A and B are shown apart, each in its own frame.
Chain A
Amino acid sequence: MSEETKCACTASQTNSPCASKPGMSRRDALLRFGIGATGVGAALMGVPVAGFVLSSFSKAQADAEWISLGPLEQFPANETRLAVYQNPSTRPWDGETAHVACWVRRLDENRFQVFAVNCTHLGCPVRWFPESRLFMCPCHGGAFYEDGSHASGPPPRGLFEYQHKVENGNLYVMGGYLPTLAEPL
């Protein structure tokens, strides 16, 4: 440090002759160039890093598509049954987490309701009790009627309901992402 005092002007030396020396020395210029070059390089490196991290900060809406739940015969009229499908966008290493479960209620020959298993309160899986015709949530005690409407407990709304269609004897639902209050199905 002390060997380089020739032109380096620190606060304690403001009264020394070199403080008033006009212009920029080669050493100062090199320092500024060094800071600049490092800044440019860091910015360059930062773009892909920040972009990579923030890429998941984008909406899921685009991932929704029609998914088959299988032939209609699986769903007898007047019953509510659990159906499991494979999420359309998956990674090879997703394993069983790529499964998505939903409750299919068949009212009669042509009328269906398909609900996400996720409770609208905090997402826990609701269970269907055919005897009392209620969906009950194990986490905080939410309950829903067979048509998905809110029956009791903390959930702020009825069950999330899938859009669905019947085509070629198969039941299809529009899904592909975890439903939440911000983005219901």
Chain B
Amino acid sequence: MLRPFTALALWLEERLQIRRLFEATAGHKVPANTNSWFYVLGSGTLLCFVLQIVTGICLAFVYVPSADRAWTSLQYLNHQQALGWLLRALHNWGSIFMVGIMTLHMMQTFLFGAYKFPRELTWISGCVLLVCTLGMAFTGQVLRFDQDAYWGLGIGASIMGRVPVIGAELVHLLLAGPIIAGETLSRFFTLHVFVLPGSILTIVSLHLRLVLTKGVNEYPTPGRPVRKETYEAEYDRLVHDTGVPFAPKVISKDLVFSGVLMIAIFACAVIAGPAGPSGPPDPALINTAPKPDFYFLSIFAVLALLPAYMETFLILTAPVAGIALLMALPFIAGTGEKSYRKRPVAVMTVIVVLLTVSVLAWLGTYSPWSPKMDAWSSAPVPLEYLYGRSPLERRGAALIQSKQCRNCHALDGEGGLRGPALDSIASRLSRDQLIRQVIQGGGNMPAYGKNLTPAEVTALVAFMGTLR
């Protein structure tokens, strides 16, 4: 019964030589101590990428990369195309997991000293993959051609416009025209669907080739530093003495992780559903508060918080310098201790970077630096602030609302966070200081001198005088 199958298998094997291919790739020997849960992150990132290709191809069957139809086709995918909403959600959550697991993979290889001799190129190609993946995240956000995408492009163009000398040309290159329009979307579609995935496939091949030629990083032992003269012989001995084939010995943890990962992506997609699209990309609809996807929230926050004098310089140089520093790392610290247990600076660096990015991203989710555009008409004056107040003071309370003070100043926790809350303002500023602050502004507050009559100023200050 089995004989015809065996014969067919042998016939194919003779021609394809799959066993030899297997032994040289998945079946190659790795040090036994790499059989660790810390080593599943690379294959996890690759799995996410493969999932993105599959769900992306499905979406491309329906999505229309044309400025006048893209938004409508997304609505169609969400509401009419069978399972379209789920595929959009899977693609979105796949990208979130891909960026997340790639970041963990990078942290793990950094903390385990995997970038050191002789795996410099593995690390550098990983850095290029990081840039490509973030490029995928940004271009993907543009393909969700809604208000956030439109104004996100505006932010990109404005950053390009700060480049000295060739700024105008770069803006034109980014937008593929004088304004954000049809050709801009085509450009980002081409990048997202052809150029960047093609680059990622190529560089992933190089990345994996290097894992085969230079071996996967062994689980580092504290107190056993890398020396260029002896490392490769030591590694060969380790593989010779303890080596086990990656498949089927070590791959089981990767498989468990793959399964958990796919279940997690699926669960998030089913529970949270697809992202957007928000309002249509019509620049005439200006009542919008654009916000980037979470990968770029920290950058969004930095752009609000940097002092003006260093802003342009840092926007343009920091990303380039950061990537250059990452790529130079194997040449700065290419030998020595590998284990994080003996590298306190490396551990501190990871903690500081992680904390900084997380805090900035968290600030980005509620952007306290932005006026709350509808607070003046939606957040009421707390009743206890009105009891027993004189008519003049109540008139001041009305002016706090109608002059949009609440957009930047909170009362009883409601309102903008741009300026200080006014609940106890009178305990900090005297009547004269209040008058001066209202009329002249200062410290990031506009001057209201021209927009308020003296009577209005008197009423406002009278009301604020009761807030202590």
Q: Which chain A residues border B172 with CB–CB below 8 Å?
A: 56-60
Chain A residues whose CB sits within 8 angstroms of the CB of B55 once the complex forms: none
CB proximity of A88 to chain B, nearest CB, Å? 9
Render B356-385 as a binary contact track against A, CB cut-off 8 A, 1 for contact: 000000000001011101001000000000
| A51 to B56 alpha-carbon distance, docked (Å) | 30
Given A93-B68, A124-B154, A132-B403, A60:B304 Cβ within 8 A: no
> Could you list 16 examples of A-B contacts with CB < 8 Å?
A56-B172, A56-B187, A87-B181, A95-B68, A97-B67, A100-B284, A117-B286, A121-B158, A122-B303, A123-B158, A137-B370, A140-B304, A143-B371, A178-B171, A182-B162, A183-B167
A118 is contacted by which of B68, B154, B178, B289 (Cβ under 8 Å)?
Answer: B154
Whether A89 lies near B178 (C-beta < 8 A) is: yes
Question: What's the least CB distance linking B395 to chain A, in Å?
Answer: 15
With contacts A141-B370, A180-B168 taken as known, whether A94 is within 8 angstroms of B67 at the C-beta atoms is yes
Binding site for A on B (CB under 8 A): 66-69, 150-151, 154-155, 157-163, 167-173, 175-185, 187, 280-284, 286-290, 300, 303-304, 306, 308, 311-312, 367, 369-371, 373, 376, 402-405, 407, 418, 441, 444-448, 450-451
Complex Cα distance, B287 from A124, in Å, reads 11
Instruction: Confirm or deny: A101 has a beta carbon within 8 angstroms of a beta carbon on chain B.
Output: yes
Q: Is A138 part of the binding interface, using a Cβ–Cβ cutoff of 8 Å? A: yes
> Using an 8 Å CB-CB cutoff, how does the interface string of A170-185 with B read, 1 for contact, 0 for none?
0000001110111100
Supposing A60-B178, A140-B304 touch, asked if A182 and B370 sit within 8 A by C-beta, the answer is no
Whether B289 and A139, one on each chain, are in contact in the complex, defined by CB atoms closer than 8 angstroms, is yes
CB distance from B76 to the nearest CB of A (A): 15
Tell me if A's interface is mostly helix, strand, loop or mixed: loop
Which residue on A lies nearest to B302, using beta carbons? Answer: A140
Contact of A123 among B157, B306, B402, B418 (CB under 8 A): B157
List the B residue with the shortest CB-CB distance to A63.
B178
Q: Which of B183, B303, B447, B451 has the most CB of A within 10 A?
A: B451
Contact A178 B157 (CB under 8 A): yes
CB distance from B86 to the nearest CB of A (A): 27
Alpha-carbon distance A143/B418, docked complex (angstroms): 11
Q: Are B154 and A178 in contact (CB under 8 A)?
A: yes
Assess whether A36 is interfacial by the CB under 8 Å rule.
Answer: no
Decide if B404 touches A134 in the complex (CB within 8 Å): yes
A-B contacts besides A60-B177, A99-B283, A127-B286, 10 pairs, CB < 8 Å? A58-B172, A61-B168, A93-B66, A97-B182, A97-B184, A99-B284, A123-B154, A126-B286, A137-B370, A141-B370
A182 touches B168 (CB 8 A): yes
Q: How far is the CA of A61 from the CA of B171 in the complex (A)?
A: 12
Contacts of A122 in B (CB 8 A): 154-155, 158-159, 303
Most chain B C-beta atoms within 10 Å of own C-beta, residue among A63, A98, A138, A151: A138
8 tightest A-B contacts by CB? Answer: A95-B68, A180-B161, A182-B167, A177-B178, A123-B154, A151-B446, A140-B304, A123-B158
Expressed in whole angstroms, the minimum distance between the Cβ of B308 and any Cβ of chain A is 6
Assess A180 versus B158: contact at CB under 8 Å? Given A96-B282, A117-B286, A154-B311. yes
A39 at the interface (CB under 8 A from B): no
List of B residues within 8 angstroms of A87 by Cβ: 178-179, 181
Instruction: Give complex CA distance A134, B289 in Å.
Output: 17
Say which residue of B179, B287, B306, B450 sits within 8 Å of A100 (CB atoms).
Answer: B179
**Out of B157, B290, B445, which one reaches A180, CB within 8 Å?**
B157
B371 touches A181 (CB 8 A): no
Docked complex Cα distance between A182 and B175 (Å): 14
In the complex where A140-B370, A181-B162, A182-B160 touch, is A91 in contact with B182 (Cβ < 8 A)?
A: yes
Is B446 touching A141 in the complex (CB atoms < 8 A)?
Answer: no
Asked whether, in the complex, the Cβ of A101 is within 8 Å of the Cβ of B283, the reply is: yes
The residues of B that contact A99 with a CB separation of less than 8 Å are 282-284
Question: Is A76 among interface residues, defined by CB-CB distance under 8 A?
Answer: no
Residues of B within 8 A of A32 (CB): none
CA distance A121 to B168 in the complex (A): 16
Q: Which residue of A lies closest to B185 (CB)?
A: A97
CA gap between A165 and B325 in the complex, in Å: 52
**Bound-complex Cα distance A182 to B176 (A):** 16
Cβ contact within 8 Å between A180 and B69 = no
Q: Does A69 make an interface contact (CB < 8 A)? A: no
Contacts of A91 in B (CB 8 A): 67, 181-183
The distance in angstroms between the C-alpha atoms of A121 and B68, with both chains bound, is 28
Q: Which residue of B lies closest to A84 (CB)?
A: B284
With beta carbons under 8 angstroms apart, the residue of A60, A82, A132, A143 that contacts B171 is A60
For A154, list chain B residues within 8 Å (CB): 303-304, 306, 308, 311
- Which of B158, B173, B183, B288 neighbours the largest number of chain A CB atoms within 10 Å of its CB? B158
Interface centre among A84, A126, A132, A182 (most CB of B within 10 A): A182
A56 and B158 contact, CB distance less than 8 A: no
For the complex formed, measure the closest distance between the CB of A15 and the CB atoms of chain B, giving whole angstroms: 30
How far is it, in angstroms, between the C-alpha of A32 and the C-alpha of B154 when the chains are bound?
A: 50
Q: Are B151 and A123 closer than 8 Å at their CB atoms?
A: yes
A residues 145-180 near B (Cβ < 8 Å) are 145, 151-154, 156, 176-178, 180
Whether a CB of chain B sits under 8 angstroms from the CB of A131 is yes
Q: A178-B154, A182-B171 are in contact. Are A95 and B446 (CB under 8 A)?
A: no
In the complex, how many angstroms separate the beta carbon of B68 from the nearest chain A beta carbon? 3
Contact status B304-A178, CB under 8 Å = no
Which residues of chain B are within 8 angstroms of A58 by Cβ–Cβ distance?
169, 172
Chain A residues near B282 (CB, 8 Å)? 96-97, 99
Interface contact A57-B173, CB-CB below 8 Å:
yes
- Identify which of A90, A97, A118, A132 contacts B158 (C-beta below 8 A): A118
Question: Is there an interface contact between A139 and B370, defined as CB atoms closer than 8 Å?
Answer: yes
**What are the residues of chain A within 8 A of B163 when measuring CB–CB?**
182
A66 interface contact, C-beta 8 A: no
